[in-house]
Amino acid sequence: MIRSTATYRRPLASLSALFISCAVAVCASPVAGQGGAESGPLRAEDLFDLELAADPQISPDGRLVVYVRQRADVMTDGRFSNLWVVGTDGTGHRPLTSGDFSDSSPRWSPDGTRLLFLSDREGSSQIHVRWMDTGETSVVTSVTEPPSSPVWSPDGSQIAFGKLVPRDAPSIAGMPTPPPGAEWAEPARVIERLVYRFDQLGYLPHGYYHAFVVPAEGGTPRQITSGDKHWGGGGIGGTQLSWAPEGQSLLLSHHPSADGEEVFITDTEIYEVRTADGSATQLTDRRGPDDSPVASPDGRYVAYVGMDDRFQGYQLTQLYVMNRDGSGSRSLSLDLDRSVYSARWASDSQGLFALYDDEGVTKVGWFGLDGGKRVLAENAGGTASAYSSASFSVAINGSFAMNYTTPDNPSDVAFVGRDEVLRVLTRINADLLAKRTIGEVEEIWYESSHDGQPIQGWIIKPPGFDPSRRYPLILEIHGGPFANYGARFDIEKQLMAAQGYVVLYTNPRGSTSYGEAFGNLIHHDYPGDDLHDLISGVDAVIEKGYADPDELYVVGGSGGGVLTAWLVGHTDRFRAAVAWYPVINWYSFVLTADMAAVGVRYWFPGLPWDNVEHYESRSLLSVVENVTTPTRIITGEEDYRTPMSESEQYFKALKMLGVETSLIRFPGEPHGIRRRPSHHIGKMMSTLEWFRRYAATTS
């Protein structure tokens, strides 16, 4: 039974550009640059014209915002990013950097006169500093390993950052030395760590991540932390750290007893480390992750996020504040029932700004030390995906900047002043959207046939939608599984709608942003009853009268690929299915994936050989003999999150059972298949082609 619906419409005064809709097939659209200027539907090659606003950083005085503007290049099939600036009054929007480089992580100096950023324009990623009055830029570092998370000291004289300290990799002992001029094969890789490769990163280098400090005008970086342990990030993605307000120490986290091998440590503690001698004081001590520490401007408190680890599949991350010495820790978000992240102190040290997701909407909230809470802004995010992807920053006066998205706006920069009114400052996709129409997005709530759980979803209607017609329906399923879709622009789903499909995407049980109890409905039970939530959503749309019950299709990625295979193993209602980078065999997954330890500890009751029946009953091979739906599998060859071997098992199983199937492998692609824009297009084209192949009628 449908509970309620709501339609998202563009406000009359909105700065969001209007999409113009159409219904020609993606496969018939011209190549970019060849007749692509005319108005019409959203097309596959529009991926090359779509731009994204990320990491907006407001100046200390609240007058300017610098952000990362991401783009794809049709000639090199690459992705690049540059820095742009805009006034908080909407004026002066212009580039600060240009060229086919990766410029990222802009951070204002405390006095607002300089801007540091990371860039590979020198050939490798290094820290740069730009003087805002003259535009002169210096290269501050010249290190062999990429720096991460650079942050100014409070007086602006130093920059702290994280970096790998390399160690020699293990090798085969006793190997002879090649004679001069000989060309021997590349040597064997000796593996001795549990996590030796990671999705997006490939094979991991040997060494440990540590904190460094370098003079802001350049010089030799000085290592602050030490030991055979990762500091401030578990060894993946660099080191996260912050300065204490006196400028004499750094705040960061690490596992006090890990030997550095395990990068999925979930029992981290917060330390204050003196920059003078590297001496460390432990501030927290409990079972569970404590991370992202930030000291209050007055130096009295440290805020951080964490939880008491109960080894559940989904656990809320709470916002804590403790005294500077580690005493008196208390949660500021205990009664919220939502995970809180990315906390930023107010300049008067009376509370914090932070992000949280609530029923598919990312919000900026206020958390006062006095217990007060309120929502300051909504619709943070903007990666052209229905997933949450928000970032924001706060000025001294309490105004803040954030990236911004709605169902009809892919990505922009927004500003919220002291009046708490949101103003969209940019229109970075106005040129593209002026000649394209997208499908209208409608929110829907319905009840699961399994137990009456209220489930939230969204329907995208084809451009030019006619409610008297019946349209084919695509069910698109999110991954995670502990994640959420929401009222955010999604290029993939809009491309499906542009082909004349009604698209349904939902947040079945296990999704985040609905509280811990809802998320843990799939604890040690995934995939499982979530299939009823998904089918109930399909039935709710069919009840509306415009979805053809004989033209149903299903697709999902990662955890959504799992549920796609689970659905076709339980029902033959779908004419065709596409599983993007799925897990098929949980037993092999926890022994091959980069996140194997997480699966064993949190998604299952233990090791697979001790829980064989549990693993096998939830593996997709347990229902593969029921599949009659034509099913295509699409995976990247460098996917280490859901390795290619998973897709190969499913393809071979379907083949041997005589089910119509197809396996598509994208070279050089990690999880998600977005590294190369043309591959991202290929993922969508091959999905829609498979659905058209098995349509009841052809047009």
* pLDDT tens, position by position, 327-345: 999 999 999 999 999 999 9
Rg (CA), the chain: 25
Q: Distance between CA 661 and CA 630 in Å, rounded?
A: 6
pLDDT at 2 over 60: no
Q: Distance between CA 397 and CA 401 in Å, rounded?
A: 12
pLDDT at 35 over 80: no
pLDDT at 215 over 90: yes
Question: What pLDDT score was predicted for residue 15?
Answer: 22
* pLDDT, tens digit, 9 for 90 and up, residues 366-390: 999 999 999 999 999 999 999 989 9
User: What token pair was written down for 98?
Assistant: 């240009």
Q: HSE (CB half, 13 Å, CA atoms) of 547?
A: 23
Q: Distance between CA 39 and CA 27 in Å, rounded?
A: 17
DSSP 582-594: ----HHHHHHHST
Cβ atoms within 10 A of the Cβ of 182, count?
A: 7
pLDDT at 1 over 90: no
165, 210 in Cβ contact below 8 A?
A: yes
Residue 270 DSSP class: E
Q: Distance between CA 260 and CA 233 in Å, rounded?
A: 11
Q: HSE (CB half, 13 Å, CA atoms) of 88?
A: 23
User: Taking residues 436-456, what's their average pLDDT?
Assistant: 97
* pLDDT, tens digit, 9 for 90 and up, residues 130-183: 999 999 999 999 999 999 999 999 999 999 999 999 999 999 999 999 999 999
Q: Using alpha carbons, select from 237, 269, 271, 268 the residue that is nearest to residue 251.
A: 271
User: What token pair was written down for 273?
Assistant: 């480390």
Helix (H) / strand (E) element for 681: namely helix 677-693
User: Taking residues 101-122, what's their average pLDDT?
Assistant: 97
More confident residue, 10 or 119: 119
Question: What pLDDT score was predicted for residue 229?
Answer: 85
Q: Distance between CA 305 and CA 317 in Å, rounded?
A: 6
Would you give the distance in Å from CA 434 to the centre of its chain?
Answer: 28
User: Taking residues 284-293, what's their average pLDDT?
Assistant: 92
Q: Using alpha carbons, select from 44, 99, 43, 97 the residue that is nearest to residue 76.
A: 99
User: Taking residues 213-236, what's their average pLDDT?
Assistant: 87
Question: What pLDDT score was predicted for residue 14?
Answer: 26
Helix (H) / strand (E) element for 6: namely strand 2-7
Q: Distance between CA 578 and CA 691 in Å, rounded?
A: 8
For the four alpha carbons of 498, 45, 576 and 583, in that order, the dihedral sign comes to negative
Q: Is the pTM of this model over 0.85?
A: yes
* pLDDT, tens digit, 9 for 90 and up, residues 307-330: 999 999 999 999 999 999 999 999
| pLDDT above 70: percentage of residues in the chain | 92
Alpha carbon distances (Å) from 456 to 501, 563, 571:
20, 17, 22
Burial class (CB in 10 A: 0-12, 13-18, 19+), 5: middle
Q: In which band, very low, low, confident or very high, does the pLDDT at 234 lie, cut at 50, 70 and 90? A: low
Q: Is the peptide bond before 481 cis (omega within 30 degrees of 0)?
A: yes
Task: Using DSSP bridges, classify how beta strands 361-368 and 409-416 pair: parallel, antiparallel or unpaired.
Answer: unpaired
Where do the structural domains in the chain lie, given as residue ranges?
441-584+619-693
Question: What's the full length of the chain, in residues?
Answer: 699
Burial class (CB in 10 A: 0-12, 13-18, 19+), 302: buried
DSSP 485-507: B-SS--HHHHHHHHTT-EEEEEE
Q: In which band, very low, low, confident or very high, does the pLDDT at 237 lie, cut at 50, 70 and 90? A: low
Q: Own/partner pairs for 116-124, CB < 8 Å, 24+ apart?
A: 116/140, 116/150, 116/152, 116/159, 116/216, 117/83, 118/146, 118/147, 118/148, 118/150, 121/97
Task: Using DSSP bridges, classify how beta strands 242-243 and 249-254 pair: parallel, antiparallel or unpaired.
Answer: antiparallel
Q: Is the peptide bond before 527 cis (omega within 30 degrees of 0)?
A: yes
Burial class (CB in 10 A: 0-12, 13-18, 19+), 134: exposed
pLDDT at 30 over 60: no
User: What token pair was written down for 113?
Assistant: 């006169």
Q: Using alpha carbons, select from 508, 655, 534, 639 the residue that is nearest to residue 583.
A: 639
Q: Where are the alpha helices (DSSP H) in 183-294?
A: none
Q: In which band, very low, low, confident or very high, does the pLDDT at 32 lie, cut at 50, 70 and 90? A: very low
23, 682 in Cβ contact below 8 A?
A: no
Q: Distance between CA 376 and CA 373 in Å, rounded?
A: 10
* pLDDT, tens digit, 9 for 90 and up, residues 6-18: 433 332 222 222 1
Query: Which position has the token pair 């030390």?
Result: 369
Whole-number mean pLDDT of the chain? Answer: 91
488, 461 in Cβ contact below 8 A?
A: no
User: What token pair was written down for 27?
Assistant: 């496969």
Helix axes 677-693, 491-498, angle to 10 degrees: 40
Would you give the distance in Å from CA 464 to the centre of its chain?
Answer: 32
- The amino acid occupying position 338 is R
Q: Distance between CA 87 and CA 100 in Å, rounded?
A: 25
pLDDT at 256 over 90: no
Least confident piece of the model among 67-71, 153-157, 202-206, 241-245: 202-206
Q: Which residues pair with 632 in a beta bridge?
A: 578, 662
The CATH homologous superfamily for domain 441-584+619-693 is Alpha/Beta hydrolase fold, catalytic domain (3.40.50.1820)
User: Taking residues 60-76, what's their average pLDDT?
Assistant: 97
Question: What pLDDT score was predicted for residue 488?
Answer: 96
* pLDDT, tens digit, 9 for 90 and up, residues 646-692: 999 999 999 999 999 999 999 999 999 999 999 999 999 999 999 99
Alpha carbon distances (Å) from 92 to 114, 323, 382, 426:
18, 42, 22, 11
